[in-house]
């Protein structure tokens, strides 16, 4: 299954025993994200390290490995323009634009994505149930 993965989901990947990690190991997911995601991870690195109980060195190492599971791709400007009209939280525009461009759902627990109806949104628990039902 192809999905655009939101930053809030990636945050949980840094905690080794997270449910998100279990989903990634259990199911074949093709993940995409705008390059902006890496900048956000660096911006919130202290919070991530604290919540995941890892060192900053470990976080930087893990961030460098993300490209093995996530394909980073910036959306075309025309899709960003469309996304800008659909959602009020401007930080989410690149994620929504990429989902529009690739015509795939978004995996996010962020409530802002529910403002629009162009792209399906999977919260982690709903994604887990959906994936379990298609096996």
Helix then strand then coil, in percent of the chain rounded to 5, is 60, 10, 30
Helix intervals (H) in 44-123: 45-52, 56-65, 77-86, 93-102
The DSSP symbol for 78 reads H
What are the pLDDT digits (tens) for 22-69?
888 888 899 999 999 999 999 999 999 998 999 999 999 999 999 999
Query: Cα–Cα distance between 101 and 79 in angstroms, integer?
Result: 6
pTM > 0.85: yes or no: yes
Query: Cα–Cα distance between 108 and 11 in angstroms, integer?
Result: 11
């Amino acid at each position: 299954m192809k999905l655009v993965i939101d930053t809030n989901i990636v945050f949980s990947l840094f905690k080794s025993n997270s449910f998100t990690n279990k989903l990634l190991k259990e199911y074949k997911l093709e993940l995409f994200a705008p390059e902006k995601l890496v900048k956000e991870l660096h911006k919130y690195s202290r919070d991530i390290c604290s919540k995941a109980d890892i060192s900053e060195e470990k976080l930087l190492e893990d961030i460098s490995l993300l490209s093995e599971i996530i394909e980073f791709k910036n959306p075309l400007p025309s899709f960003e323009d469309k996304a800008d009209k659909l959602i009020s939280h401007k930080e989410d525009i690149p994620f929504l634009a990429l989902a529009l461009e690739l015509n795939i759902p978004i995996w996010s627990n962020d409530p802002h994505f529910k403002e629009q109806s162009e792209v399906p949104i999977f919260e982690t628990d709903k994604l887990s149930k959906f994936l379990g039902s298609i096996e």
